Amino acid sequence: MNFLSSLKGIPLKRKPEVEEFPLLPLRELVLFPQTVVPVFITYKMGIIAVDEALKRDMRLFAACFKTQERGETYAAGTVVRIVQHLRLPDSTFRVVLQGEYRGLIVSSVRNTAVAVVRVEPIKAVSEEPASPEVIALIRAVQKSFIQYAELSKKVNNDTITAVEKTESVERIANLICNALVIKADRKVSLLSIRDPGERLDTLLETLELENEIFGIQKNISGKVKTRMEKNQREYILHEQLKEIHKELGKNEEEDEFAELERSIEEKHPGEEVLLKAQKEITRLRKLQPLSPEAGVLRGYLEWIADLPWSEYSADVGDLGKAEQILDEDHFDMRKAKERILEFIAVRQLVSLENTQSGIKGPILCFVGPPGTGKTSLGKSVARALGRRFVRISLGGVRDEAEIRGHRKTYVGALPGKIIQSICKAGTINPVFLLDEIDKLSSDFRGDPASALLEVLDPEQNSNFTDHYMEVAYDLSKVLFITTANSLHNLPYPLLDRMEIIEIPGYGENEKLAIAQQFLVPKELRENGLGAATITFTDEAIREIIRYWTMESGVRGLEREIARCVRRIARDAVKDEYGKDPEKPIISFHKAVDREDLEKLLGRRKYKNDVVFKEARIGVSYGLAWTETGGTILPVETSRFEGNGELIITGNIGDVMKESARIALSYLRSIQDRYEFLVEDLGKTDFHVHVPEGAIPKDGPSAGITLAASLLSTLCEAPPKAGIAMTGELTLTGRILPIGGLKEKLLAAIRNGMEQVLLPEDNRDDWAELDGDVKSSIAIEFVEKAEDAFTILFDEGIRKLAGSTKTAIRPVSLRHRKKHGYEGSLHYKGH
């Protein structure tokens, strides 16, 4: 039945001012006048309203719920008449409703079982004939609605025809609003507008917005369709091309797969790798070229084809030339250079065939402070051997997959850094530098240090298996070099697999030689003054080392020299050198002396450590090792009356706190041998402080220093000035050996110490030091703490030879004078 055509002859009833109607709430449905809509009434409130309307005049007030929870309704709605109704077996209704006029709820009728509301008609503001502006709006709305109907394809032809023929503002607005597919709140807004012009204007704006949205959707759909058609077209053309090649007796894909297989075979991998590759190529042939799995397999096979499986770089056989290259690039580093030369010598004694099958590359670990040339030494080793060089930085690496790779089932999977770097090197025997191995981390993704156990084990790395590659790769020919600033953070199993070569810090004379031979010429070249005649005096270099740098390496020294050279370059440009033909840069001369440094570098940056020139009671000087080199460790002690407590401050670690307790306990055990000016140790508190509290300090090597400071306080006798010491103290007074000897001695020399006390067991380490360090400071080797006390203090602190250990102890003459009882002896029981 065509409801729109049946409405053409229905006269519009005169709308009374206010009438009462049963309220029919609707969900997500807004009814408009002059429209006929079938509705199913399935909820209780609606069924009661229909029953009430059937008892009255068949009319209802239809309003839409504001929310889906069926609570409050909008105030604006439509008075509708029940044209047809059918009660279903489950007591629900199917009704056909005809809209009569728009209305607004004024109030509700109380004391009724049915929701009844009073409704006021929504009248137009003016009922005069349409103005030209309104007529123009009507035509614009009609045109926009026809466009909307074409785009949405959801408007029937009867509605389009009715909209085109009508000239009534009310009728055209109602028909279009009913046909629009928009949200209920926007429809209610259009329903409640009184002014015809404003209603048409809002309707036109809504239509234009919907048309624009349809246009954007159509554009997006077109692009997607174009891409799909392009992919389909490529697929069809590809299939046609395959058929053409078949007719011509060719097969492009077969040629591609055969070429891939041939490139893998030419690399001469092992039989296992070859079988794996052939299996994957067979799988690849059966897959569609555009499938994701085909891309994964193709990438995997390309990695196998790119890896060097049998390519070697020939090693340099001239031992003298290799030694010359190492000496050209680095000063000193005797142990590291000797180890590399030993490796080359062994290679010369083994034939090439046996070399490739038998000898394994060493795994070296260069340990030393920053700036000592560990990383650059790796490059120099590669140049001396004539091998390719690759480097990966392990600082901050915390994912095991960085070493072993991801399994190729993951999206974007790649081999680990080891395989990637070998592929980059292009040979099976490069020099492989694992930089900053002590900076490895670990978290829930795994422990990279444990993954390196297989890489750095000469017995296992011949069958290293990357998760991505899934086949064994031989790393035994690789010369692995690792670098670290400290070995404390490395797991013992990893440390056990490496050959440790210490690269200690440089002394002042070594830094001077490095600066004059390497750093100054390098900075002159890099700053455009290579042709000029610029020299640095030895005194100037020493001043820079002492007062502008505080390091074991030469990185800071290089920076300061570069600052000097840049300032000199600026002065040369100001004087027109290099620009004026009469002033070529080769004619520029400059000699940098110590007096020029303030102008070139500014004020001095560093002073000596906290060292007093004069001897002081309770102050002794130890030597500490850090990752950046050695330093002086002053220890201060004071005593006062208390409960025998030992207070330790200065950001001290547990091991060093234990050393202080051991030192105090040892001194208690030997109190009968020294003149302690303390009446009762049990009623005396000691406060031990190590200055520069912001810096953490720990380790056992300050034991003898702590004991000397405590003894000085107990005897009120200062240790001799200019003496530093280091050594671990035991409870029985033995002094145990320490590490980092060279760095500690360099710190003592830098701070003007005249003598250093070392443990007797470090005598062999002292013998291996360079001559310039040995000649710069005096050394005394001590085996027991009392030997050190004899050197540090005058004999006045020791008791007379005739005194023996008893239960009572005489108070010293000095103490008796102090307290005014010189002529008598005062005994204190223990």
Give the rounded distance of the alpha carbon of 147 from its chain centre: 56
Q: How far apart are CA 727 and CA 734, in angstroms?
A: 9
The Cα 245–Cα 241 span in angstroms is 6
- For residue 600, give Cα distances in angstroms to 379, 524, 563, 769: 33, 15, 7, 35
Query: What's the count of helices (H) and strands (E) in the chain, helices before strands?
Result: 30, 26
Residue 32: CB atoms within 10 Å? 23
SS3 readout for 20-76: EEEEEEECCCCCCCCCEEEEEECCHHHHHHHHHHHHCCCEEEEEEECCCCCCCECCE
- In angstroms, the Cα distances linking 484 to 364, 368, 379 are 11, 7, 16
Using alpha carbons, select from 173, 46, 154, 27 the residue that is nearest to residue 101: 173
Chain centroid to CA 9: 78
Question: Cβ–Cβ contacts within 10 Å for residue 105, how many?
Answer: 18
State residue 356's pLDDT score. 47
Helix 319-329 vs helix 374-385: angle between axes, to the nearest 10 degrees? 150
Q: What is the DSSP letter of 214?
A: H
Residue 468, beta-bridge partner list? none
Q: pTM value?
A: 0.60
Contact 97, 30 (CB under 8 A): no
Distance of alpha carbon 307 from alpha carbon 321, whole angstroms: 31
Environment class of 236 (CB within 10 Å of its CB; exposed 0-12, middle 13-18, buried 19+): exposed
633 CB contacts (<8 Å, ≥6 apart)?
621, 622, 623, 624, 690, 697, 702, 705
For tokens 């070392």, name the residue: 758
310: number of Cβ within 10 Å = 13
User: What angle in degrees, to the nearest 10, is found between the helix axes of 132-152 and 157-165?
Assistant: 170
- Cβ atoms of 577 and 396 within 8 Å: the answer is no
Rounded distance between C-alpha atoms, residue 473 and residue 767, angstroms: 44
Q: Helices marked H in 318-433 — which ranges?
A: 319-329, 334-349, 352-357, 374-385, 401-404, 417-425
Paired strand residues for 39: 95
Q: Which residues are catalytic?
A: 701, 744
Pairing of strands 431-435, 389-393: parallel
Is residue 625 within a helix (H) or strand (E), and if so which, with residue range? strand 619-626
Give the Cα separation of 483 and 292 in Å (integer): 41
Q: Where would I find the beta strands (DSSP E) of 44-176?
A: 59-64, 76-87, 93-109, 116-121
Sign of the Cα torsion 219, 225, 230, 233 reads negative
Angle at 695 between CA 690 and CA 699, to 5 degrees: 65
- Between CA 365 and CA 381 the distance in angstroms is 13
pLDDT at residue 686, rounded to an integer: 93
For residue 715 the two structure tokens come to 């005897």
Give the integer Cα–Cα distance in Å for 439 and 454.
19
Helix (H) or strand (E) holding 228: helix 196-247
* pLDDT value for 609: 56
Tokens 């729109």 found at:
4
Work out whether strand 93-109 and strand 76-87 pair parallel, antiparallel, or are unpaired. Answer: antiparallel
> Can you tell me the distance from the alpha carbon of 584 to that of 767, in angstroms, rounded to the nearest whole number?
52
Residue 617: φ, ψ to 5°: -70, 135
Which position has the token pair 């025998």?
A: 644
Burial 671-698 (b: 16+ CB within 10 A, else e): beebbbbbeebeebebbbbbbeeeeebe
Q: Which residues contact 490 (CB under 8 A, 6 or more apart)?
A: 437, 438, 449, 484
Round to whole Å and give the CA distance between 455 and 466: 10
**According to the 3-state scheme, what is the secondary structure of 273-300?**
HHHHHHHHHHHHHHCCCCCHHHHHHHHH
For the chain, the helix, strand and coil percentages under 3-state DSSP, each to the nearest 5? 45, 20, 35
- Distance, in Å, from the CA atom of 386 to the CA atom of 314, rounded to the nearest integer, reads 7
∠ CA 374-376-378, nearest 5°, is 75
Contact 755, 778 (CB under 8 A): yes
For helices 654-669 and 703-715, the axis angle rounded to 10 degrees is 50
Count Cα atoms within 13 angstroms, Cβ side, for 379.
Answer: 8
Give 10-residue mean pLDDT values along the chain (830 residues). Answer: 41 62 88 90 87 88 82 88 89 90 86 82 68 83 86 84 84 87 86 85 87 84 74 73 68 68 86 89 81 86 90 82 86 84 80 53 86 88 90 88 87 90 92 91 80 86 89 90 88 89 83 91 91 91 88 89 93 85 86 91 77 84 82 92 90 92 92 85 90 84 93 91 93 92 87 91 89 87 93 82 42 40 31
pLDDT score at 462: 86
627, amino acid identity? E
Residues 6 or more apart from 586 whose CB is under 8 A from it?
531, 532, 533
Contacting residues for 585 by C-beta, under 8 A, at least 6 apart: 528, 529, 531, 532, 572, 577, 578
Contacts of 278 (CB under 8 A, 6+ apart): 261
* 391/385 Cα distance (integer angstroms): 16
Q: Could you give the 3-state DSSP secondary structure of residue 715?
A: helix
Give the position of tokens 């320490």: 738
Angle between helices 157-165 and 169-179 (to 10 degrees): 160
